[in-house]
Amino acid sequence: MDLRFTPEESAFRADVRTFMRDKLPPAIRAKMIEGRHLAKDDIVAWQRILNAKGWAVPHWPTQWGGTGWGPVELYLFRDEMQQAPAPEPLPFGAYMVGPVIIAFGNETQKKRFLPRIANLDDWWCQGFSEPGAGSDLASLKTSARRVGGHYIVNGQKTWTTLAQYADWIFCLVRTEPAAKKQEGISFLLIDMKTQGITVRPIQTIDGGHEVNEVFFDDVRVPAENLIGQENRGWDYAKFLLGNERSSIARVGISKARIRRLKELAALEHAGGKPLIADERFRAKIAAVEVELKALEMTQLRVVAAAADAAERGRNGNAKPDPASSILKIKGSEIQQTITELLLEVVGPYALPDQVPHDESERWNEPPIGPDWAGPLAPDYFNARKISIYGGSNEIQKNIIAKAILGL
């Protein structure tokens, strides 16, 4: 298996890098580098810049706005976008529900939703986890009862990221209570403006409002919003989660954060010489760089296998690749390790409440320490969830044991 890039692929990478350099608004780039939270308008603006170029959903079929790129070009594009660093298109639309609609939706649903997802005219959120159904997602209890031309939905979802902005939510609901757990679940698209939906914020340990609870009280959902077949939602969810886990690896993001780590560690602080001068700290950086290179090689092998399958006319997306679980585990662990090293750099200035989470607010007290120190502790706390969402790392190890090792 040859993991080297061809001259044409290297030229493609250079073109993408130039576009990211020239078209990404400087204010958004600065927020990304500094680890500050993006506003909704930032995410919308950048995705529409990408969509105008034809790059918002490059992995989709060309009929629905895709580029026709192969697996290698898709990998290079995403790697350069993460290293820029630039925001990725809203994942709940572009990488989650969009591919599900393409694979399992009907033509009416595709025409209705896909162009609006690509241009971020509709903001989507994910309604999977529940208070008693997180890693054991098949235990979900939110019900959908068919009455004429509608489903009546009752229940609760939790940890719903950015639901406060959402126009639509895609939900797993139980449509056959008597069936086995995985066999009685359906996949519904629900308009967030429908009567009976309540969104309640959850304040996270970093002080932010990123996740929410969503309550459904006799919510009427048109039956035409059912994806695929009733009671087949678990199959569609596995397809979606396979895509999500692959994206959690975020090799490009980790590369960018290591560059930031080295930059900050080279600064002289009031307490003495730069931390980068400490041999033990340099060894920690080297160790995480070795782990990241191994992860990158694993991802490239997955990309190469997908490219080979495409050349041979096989559909590499027919089933989720169990290797996505490996990428998810190591990618999340590396991202968490980098945030720990950044905290070590910031030292005593790592106070999670020294600057407002919402930049529109200003406190009377001046910030403690340098401006760049403010976001690092909140970022550390926020990164604790990476090894949990998309299926906890413990669950991924079970998948590897069964699907790869045959245990």
> Which candidate, 228, 213, 211, 238, places its Cα nearest to that of 96?
238
pLDDT per residue as tens digits for the range 295-304: 999 888 888 8
Residue 227 shares a structural domain with residue 253: no
Average pLDDT over residues 125-144: 93
Residue 252 has pLDDT above 80, yes or no: yes
Number of other residues whose CB lies within 10 A of the CB of residue 363: 10
Residue 267 shares a structural domain with residue 365: yes
How far is residue 305's CA from residue 391's CA, in Å, rounded to a whole number?
A: 24
Average pLDDT over residues 291-311: 84
pLDDT per residue as tens digits for the range 19-43: 999 999 999 999 999 888 899 999 9
Q: Does residue 384 form part of some domain?
A: yes
Residue 138 shares a structural domain with residue 208: yes
In sequence order, what E strands does 94-210 have?
A: 124-127, 143-147, 150-157, 168-174, 185-191, 197-202
Q: Does residue 243 form part of some domain?
A: no
In sequence order, what E strands does 244-378 have?
A: none
Residue 175 shares a structural domain with residue 270: no
3-class secondary-structure state, position 108: helix
Report the CATH number that the domain containing residue 206 is assigned in CATH.
2.40.110.10
Q: Does residue 99 form part of some domain?
A: no
pLDDT at 399: 83
CA atoms within 13 A on the CB side of 213: 11
Amino acid identity of residue 268, one-letter, is E
Average pLDDT over residues 268-284: 86
Domain boundary among 206, 232, 258: 232
Residue 129 shares a structural domain with residue 73: no
Q: Number of structural domains, the chain?
A: 3
Residue 290 shares a structural domain with residue 350: yes
pLDDT at 370: 79
Residue 246 has pLDDT above 70, yes or no: no
Residue 163 shares a structural domain with residue 293: no
pLDDT at 69: 95
Q: Does residue 48 form part of some domain?
A: yes
pLDDT at 318: 47
How far is residue 118's CA from residue 139's CA, in Å, rounded to a whole number?
A: 32
Q: Does residue 307 form part of some domain?
A: yes
Out of 41-50, 182-191, 278-287, 306-315, least confident range: 306-315
Residue 254 shares a structural domain with residue 398: yes
Residue 61 shares a structural domain with residue 161: no
* Model confidence, pTM: 0.87
In 3-state terms, the chain is what percent helix, strand and coil (to 5)? 50, 15, 35
CA angle 329, 335, 336 (to 5 degrees): 90
pLDDT at 363: 47
Domain boundary among 89, 105, 135: 89
> Which candidate, 70, 82, 87, 86, places its Cα nearest to that of 5?
70
Residue 303 shares a structural domain with residue 261: yes
Q: Does residue 47 form part of some domain?
A: yes
Average pLDDT over residues 50-69: 97
Q: Does residue 347 form part of some domain?
A: yes
Residue 201, preceding peptide bond in cis (omega within 30° of 0): no
* Lookup result for tokens 């939703």: 113
Domain boundary among 174, 205, 232: 232
pLDDT per residue as tens digits for the range 356-393: 445 544 444 555 677 788 888 888 988 888 888 877 88
Residue 253 shares a structural domain with residue 367: yes
CA atoms within 13 A on the CB side of 308: 9
How far is residue 162's CA from residue 155's CA, in Å, rounded to a whole number?
A: 19
Residue 49 has pLDDT above 60, yes or no: yes
Q: How many residues does the chain have?
A: 407
pLDDT at 202: 94
Average pLDDT over residues 265-288: 88
Q: Does residue 65 form part of some domain?
A: yes
Residue 261 shares a structural domain with residue 218: no
Catalytic residues: 244
Per the structure, the complete domain to which residue 210 belongs is given by 124-232
